[in-house]
Structures are given as structure tokens and as C-alpha cells.
Chain A
């Protein structure tokens, strides 16, 4: 069978996902044995516009980005959104809280007129993608799994289970026990709870579940008294509903996060 030709492309982002992929080290070489690399700016010079699989990281933030991603979509048989910028908008979508003009002024001041910008959106909002790899940066386990699915022609659905599942399977201490606020219960797993592994809360970088119970989060996090595991949180933080939304939208502001859009049990 002819080897698939793969390419990597970047849009608005820190390019950390591509860099992470390189950290697969020897395993990456083993995986690349099955393919030919047509374009990958971070590791090689020269690029070909003949490719079958396009790994695209970053968000769409300019009109020109739209044309470029549409072009890639037309060329490639398989398009993969690589990482949370490309899949769910990630931090980039935070700028959508301001009018675009205002956001440009905040960042570029007087030079703002030289830049073109549109509200940030993930690649998935502009073209259909065949596979998604989530995470800021991507989970390498998931990248590998997706890569193998592409090679063997299998579908891959991002897990629709919360981080808590992996946290518990690893017997990590729930950070709520230490009075921290964790987004694990509403965030898609697949990172093997890497943050809670180090005693840090989950900030939600892999995106919200299909049906995150944000109302439950608001009830819990705004309460003034709860059971043992949560009491420190209730006492120290006493969040308002707006502050809850603030916390939850860090990676998840596309589309803009509101309580009304939440699906609760009646879906």
C-alpha cells in the first residue's frame, strides 16, 4: 500500500502542539516509518503541496486564515485539528470577550490599523475535520492513538468522560481536598489527569464534555457551606456565578460560554 503523505500546518497559536509531537522521540520515528512527510516547518525546510493528511494547529483569527484552511481542506483527504486552539478555540477565543477593534487596540495600540483580525474560532468551526486531538498542548497518548487510527482507517472520537475518571483510576488526591477549584468534573479526559497528578487543579484545557453540568458547578462553587471535601473551597472562595463562568471559559470561550447554553439533564 502506498504510504500516506502527511503535513503539519500552523495557525494562530504558540506552536506548542507541534513541539510536543516532537517529544515522542524514537516513537515518532517508528510512527513516521508508516508515512512520508510532505511539509513540517518546525522540523524541515521545503514543503510540498501534495499531501493526504493535514495536521493543523492553531485558531482562525484572520480572513486570510479562512481561505488557507479551506485550501488545505480541499487538498487533503484527512484533516486533523491538532490541539485545543484548532479544536475548541482555547485561549485565543478569550479575545472574543472584547469587540475586535478594541482587542486590536489593547494589543497593538497605535499600530492597530495595520492588522486585520476577526473573532477567534477553532478550525473545527470553519471546515469539517476528520479527527481531533485535544489538549493545550496535545496529549501525546492521544496523538499516537489518533495517528494509528488514521493509518488503520479507524474512526476516533475524543473521550466524553471527565478528567475525574482518570484522576481516580490513578488514585490521585482530589485537589478539592486541598481547597482548590478543579474543572475536572466538566472537562474531557484523555490527558491521564496530568495536572492533578502533580497536585494542580485541572483548568479545562481539553474542552468541556458534550453535556457538562455547569449549573451543578455553579451550585457547588457558589455555595456557602458544603460537605468536607468542598468546605475549604466554599469558605475561601465564595465565588459568584460570573466568577464561575470566568474560570470555566479560560479554554472554553468558543462559542462564548454562558449558563443558558448549558445542556442539563433534559437533553
Chain B
């Protein structure tokens, strides 16, 4: 892997050059609340804030928008369908390591046949520029092995004394840097960047007290119903833990007729397994009708089913679900609570 050094001015030139050619999404300050950031389409490179803490909604929205039109249709024999898939390139900048890991996780999940055409098409459009971060009290990426994730970014930026260390991870990334003034990285620059990562790891206070396999076994063994019920007593089933999660990929679809009643569009929207009707099937049967079953499902899904299928938990430790939960249900705390409960049980047995 090649690394360069860009001064802040040179980095700005890079973003200006890119934005002259294509739209760019990145973290920027919220206009309605200073000090809060969100991923959005940028009007100018100056709006990009690389020192942001975190965002409520993850950058997956660049590839999988919360509400999108899949196709328009016209009834008839045969009915007409027009798929709406974009192919113009864009840049997604300022993606933290945990969120890069999440995009990789969704690449894998959405590549399983029948692959998700929309996700894959949007992924092909994008140049991804990652950037390193400093954690807050909800982050637990060091426990999830995502603190230093790079795939699938094209370029990755770490703040150093001389400006930014810019790692080149793909040919596309190399291309982007072609006509940009830059310096080759010296030993000191590389050390600066490792120093940043060390500092970050040290700052992380939230840690899991159990490894993935052991936790999967606890879930598999079951018998945790009282704990799930206790958590469910506090849970609203509001779905915010899913709608803020960078690795959640469930969606719902519905049709909207226009006023002619003969043509319309099909939309898809982010869904959530915490919502009461998520698992409702024909005949109003609901195989997770009770709140505690849905709570249980979120942990089972992320740390057991998908862990077994993809050999990695579908959680990056970004902490968004815990931050967003108005009922104060905390992802890492629950894992540690379950681990402790099962430990106690074993020592009694």
C-alpha cells in the first residue's frame, strides 16, 4: 500500500477537484443544531467536516437511501415497468473505519443471490474516502475488530503533524490523486498515524467482556427469556436501533398509485425487526408478536445467525443504536449483561 502526505490546503484541492466533476456526500454540520453532524450532499467542499464525532444516520444511506423509488409502472397487458437505477459517479467522503466495515458487511450480505441490484449499482458509482476518528463513550469498535478497518475505501485519511496521511487502497484511489500535489510519506508521518490509532484505542472505554464465538454459544444455548423480558419492559419497539444501524439491511416495499389509478411507483424504505408488524404474515400470524421476542431477535440476528453465515458479527461497534435509543438500551451493556448472567449460571451449575 502506498501512502502520501497532503497538507490541509492540498486536501482541499483534492475535494475541490472531485466536486468539480461529481457530487459528494460527506459529514457536515447540521443547520438545525450546531455541534451535530450528518451525512448529506455537500454544496461546497468547505462544508465537509472531517473532525466530526459521529452521525445519527450512517453513510450507508448513500447506497441504500432510507426512501427510494425502485421503478415506475403502468398497468395494462402486459404492464410496463421502468426501473430507476442511477449510474452517475459520486464521492462519499469522511467515512470512519467502523462504517467502512459496515459497508463491506452490506456488500457481502447484498451479494448473496438474489443479489441486490440497487445496492451493487450504487456501490459501483462511488469513490469512498475514509477518515480516522476519535471515539466517544458509546464506541466499542476495538472489541469488534473494526477500529482500523479500511476495506472497501479507495483512499484513507489520518490526521498527522504535517496535515493528512493519505493511504491509497485501490487503483481508483490512485487515479483520483494523479494530478494532486502531494508529498511521499516519511517514517515520521507513518508513526504519527499509528500514534493517532493508539490514542484512539486508549480512549475507548466501552469494551465487550466476551469473544464472538462464546457469545454466539450463549445465544444458541437460550434460556435467557427473563433477561429479554426485562429489557423489553423498557423498549418502545420504536426501531431507532435499526434505522440508525450501519449494518441493518431490511427494507419494506409498497406501491403508490398516481391520481390516474393506472400508473404509479414502487418505493422501498428502511424497515426494522423491532416494529410489531415486521414479522407479520398472511392471516395476521406474527412469529415475533411479543416485544421481548423482537428484542431477542436483534441480538440473535447480529451475533448468531449472521455471525454463523458470514463469520463475523453484524455489528461494528459504532454505538449508534445505543446513542439513539431514547429508552437507554445499550448494545454493549446488554452483551456484557448476558455474558455475566451466563457466567453466573455456569458457576452455579
Contacts and interface: CB of A to CB of B under 8 A. Distances in A.
A190 to B, nearest CB: 13
A34 B262 CA distance: 12
Contacts of B117: none
Contacts of B270: 165, 168-169
A174 B324 contact: yes
A177 interface: yes
A152 B56 contact: no
Interface of B: 30, 32-33, 36, 38-40, 56-57, 61, 66-67, 137, 229, 232-240, 243-244, 256-257, 259-261, 269-270, 272, 275-277, 290-292, 322-328, 330
B229 A30 contact: no
Interface in A187-238: 199, 209-213, 215-217, 219-220, 223, 226-230
A227 B235 contact: no
A227 B243 contact: no
Interface in A160-186: 160-162, 164-165, 168-171, 173-174, 176-178, 182, 184-186
Contacts of B234: 213, 216, 219-220
A229 to B, nearest CB: 6
Interface residues of A, number: 48
B121 to A, nearest CB: 21
A49 B311 CA distance: 67
A114 interface: no
Nearest to B330: A227
Given A170-B66, A213-B237, A266-B290, A161 B326 contact: no
Interface of A: 27, 30-31, 33-34, 145, 148, 151-152, 160-162, 164-165, 168-171, 173-174, 176-178, 182, 184-186, 199, 209-213, 215-217, 219-220, 223, 226-230, 264-267
A245 B239 CA distance: 23
Interface-centre pick from A33, A171, A178, A217 (highest chain B CB count, 10 A): A171
User: Top 4 closest A-B pairs, CB basis?
Assistant: A30-B259, A168-B243, A265-B291, A169-B66
A165 B290 CA distance: 19
A220 B238 CA distance: 14
Contacts of A162: 236-239
Given A162-B239, A185-B236, A199-B32, A229 B290 contact: no
